[in-house]
Structures are given as C-alpha cells and as structure tokens.
C-alpha cells in the first residue's frame, strides 16, 4: 500500500505542496504579513530548483541508483514546484509593496532586478514542462531548459543582495556548485552497465 | 570513494539545510546597553507615525530597532533607530543606502 502511494506521481506533486501549507497557514490566520512570506516562499523555490538541478550531476557521480532514478522520473514536478513557489513569492512581493511606484523606485537595486529577470526567464521553462512541448521542440527543448543555469545565477545574486547576508544563500548553493564542479572534474560513471 | 564523498556531501547539505538560523542582517549595530534601559518599540512606532511614517513592521536587529515602512517622503525603506535615543541611524532601500549617520 505504502509502495503504491510512494510510486504514485500525483502523490509526489502533493508532497511538494506540503511546504506551502505550512508557509501559508500563519498568513491565513493573520499572524504574519505579506512581507514575512517573501523569505519562506523564495527559499523553497530555490530549494526545489537546486534539487531539480542537482539530480543530473548526482547521477553522473553515483551511477543509476534506484532512489536517484525515482527522483529523476519526478524532476519535472520539482522544476514546476520551484516555479510555483516563485510565483507565490512574486504575488507576496506585489501584495507587500502595494503599488507600482514603490516597485519601480527599487527596481534597479541589484537584489531586485535580478529577481525580476530570473522570474521572467523561468516562465518559458515552466510553460514547456510538458510532453507536448518536449515533442514539439525536439532538441531545442533541452537547449531551452538549460536556461535554468543563468536563472540559478540570478537567483543567487538576488538572494545575497536582498538579504545583506551571504550565509543562507551560500548554504544552499555551495553543495550544488560542488556537485556541478565534481561532474566536470571527475570521470563520468557509465549510466548503464556495460555502456 | 566517490560514492562516500557524495554521501558526505549530501549529509553536509542536509545538515546545512536544516540548521540555518534566522540570523541578523547586521547592517547596523547598536551598543545601547541592556534592553531594560531601552525605550519601547511602541514609543518608536508612535513617534514615527506622528512624523508621517507608515510602519509596516518593527523588530530588534543588531541591538537596534529595525523598522520596515514608508518615510514621510514616500519611500519604501528599511530603517534603523537607536533603542535609547530613538535617533535615526540608517535608511536603506534593498541595500541601497539613502541615509547613514556618521560613525554607524
């Protein structure tokens, strides 16, 4: 029974919704204001993005381990969740700022425009996260999805400069950067036995 | 070996994920002595409101009062005030410094 639930892809989507429930609860009950929602929504978006991006480097480092394969089959859900939490993040930003003038006044701060551009580049990635787009775009689909690398860089800069503090951003990004570096510098493991 | 190091990496990442404290941003630091000698946060927000500020949120950060709100001039900012004198020490907008008192 547990195995059936675990292997159900819809159950995985539901699992990715869980943090949102915990994040939104104190806002819904009026204990926190929109401003307080910016940090948790942004952080979960970055976490899911990094998780989705870390799977390929992990696969080349570790080889085809069952858990990894299981996760890779669900990578689309991770990416779409990262986008959904980013949308939540933007919605709370707009609620918090409350008017266009204030948003324009700070637009050119390094911590702000990087967030806007990351969001903008994220849209086509999310919109093409489906089988129809994959088939239609053929090889172009992968090229398009590689845009997630500049998005991640923008997110890192956004995070560092909005928070005036390197630590939380680096805690999330350094393990990922090490993984990507390891993928480049260590010899690849064959994905399939005998290959 | 590679598997071990990756495991280690995963473990470090997990611990790091789980243990990030909500740390002070530390733009400004106040050496204002024990909190018993401070003016209350309410006194500050009342004073600011009277001066034309809109205060969205106030808290203690780096031993100062940190206020998120809108200045009388209409700028959405983050500002720091001395908890004893309630003097304005710093006004910033997403890291862009709009005002900084000498010595802070």
Q: Round to the nearest angstrom and report the end-to-end CA distance of chain A.
A: 35
Residues of B in contact with A179 (CB under 8 A): 9
Q: Which of A46, A165, A170 to mutate to test the interface with B (most CBs of B within 10 A)?
A: A165
Nearest CB to B23; choose among A105, A110, A165:
A165
Q: Is A58 on the interface with B (CB under 8 A)?
A: yes
Is the four-CA dihedral B43, B48, B50, B56 of positive or negative sign?
A: negative
Whether A192 shows a pLDDT value over 60: the answer reads no
Interchain proximity A106–B93, CB inside 8 Å: yes
Residue B19 maps to a domain: no
Series of mean pLDDT values for 10-residue runs along chain B (104 residues): 55 52 64 92 96 95 94 94 96 89 88
By C-alpha distance, the chain B residue nearest A171 is: B16
Angle at alpha carbon of residue A141, lines to A138 and A146, rounded to 5°:
150
Mean pLDDT of the region A116-145: 96
Residue B60 maps to a domain: yes
| pLDDT at B9 (0 to 100) | 56
Residue B1 maps to a domain: no
> Minimal CA–CA distance to B25: which of B55, B82, B64?
B64
Residues of A in contact with B12 (CB under 8 A): 175
Burial letters A130-150, b for 16+ CB under 10 A, else e? eeeeeeeeeeeeeeebeebee
Reply yes or no on domain A2-185 having CATH 1.20.930: no
CA separation for the pair B62, B83 (Å, rounded): 11
Percentage of chain A lying above the pLDDT 70 cut: 95
Residue B6 maps to a domain: no
Nearest CB to B75; choose among A105, A111, A182:
A105
Residue B16 maps to a domain: no
Residues of A in contact with B13 (CB under 8 A): 175
Q: Which two tokens stand for residue A22?
A: 């915990």
| pLDDT at A103 (0 to 100) | 95
pLDDT 10s digits, A40-54: 999 999 999 999 999
Instruction: Note down the domain range covering B71.
Output: 24-100
Interchain proximity B76–A105, CB inside 8 Å: yes
Q: What are the sequence ranges of the domains in chain A?
A: 2-185
Residues of B in contact with A110 (CB under 8 A): 95
pLDDT 10s digits, A66-111: 999 999 999 999 999 999 999 999 999 999 999 999 999 999 999 9
Q: What is the overall mean pLDDT for chain A?
A: 91
Residues of B in contact with A112 (CB under 8 A): 94
Which burial class, exposed, middle or buried, applies to A58 when counting CB atoms under 10 A from its CB (0-12, 13-18, 19+)?
buried
């Amino acid at each position: 029974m547990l195995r059936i639930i675990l292997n159900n892809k819809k159950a995985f989507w539901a699992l990715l919704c869980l943090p949102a429930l915990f994040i939104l609860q104190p806002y819904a009950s009026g204990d926190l204001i929109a401003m307080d929602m910016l940090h948790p929504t942004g952080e979960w978006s970055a976490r899911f993005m990094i998780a989705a991006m870390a799977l390929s480097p992990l696969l080349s480092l570790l080889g085809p381990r069952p858990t990894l394969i299981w996760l890779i089959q669900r990578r689309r859900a991770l990416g779409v969740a990262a986008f959904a939490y980013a949308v939540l993040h933007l919605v709370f930003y707009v609620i918090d700022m409350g008017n266009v003038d204030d948003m324009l006044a700070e637009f050119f701060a390094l911590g702000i425009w990087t967030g806007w551009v990351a969001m903008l580049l994220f849209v086509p990635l999310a919109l093409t996260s489906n089988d129809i787009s994959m088939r239609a775009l053929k090889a172009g689909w992968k090229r398009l999805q590689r845009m997630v690398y500049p998005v991640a860089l923008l997110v890192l800069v956004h995070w560092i400069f909005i928070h005036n503090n390197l630590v939380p951003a680096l805690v999330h990004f350094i393990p990922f950067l090490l993984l990507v570096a390891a993928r480049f510098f260590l010899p690849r493991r064959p994905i399939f036995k005998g290959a | 070996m590679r598997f071990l190091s990756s495991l280690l990496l995963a473990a470090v990442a997990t611990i790091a994920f789980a243990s990030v404290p909500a740390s002070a941003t530390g733009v400004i630091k106040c050496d204002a002595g024990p909190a018993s000698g401070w003016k209350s946060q309410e006194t500050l927000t009342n004073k600011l409101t009277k001066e034309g500020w809109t205060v969205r949120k106030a808290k203690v950060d780096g031993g100062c009062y940190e206020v998120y709100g809108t200045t009388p001039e209409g700028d959405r900012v983050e500002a720091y005030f001395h908890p004893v004198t309630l003097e304005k020490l710093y006004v910033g907008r997403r890291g862009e410094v709009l005002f900084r008192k000498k010595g802070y």
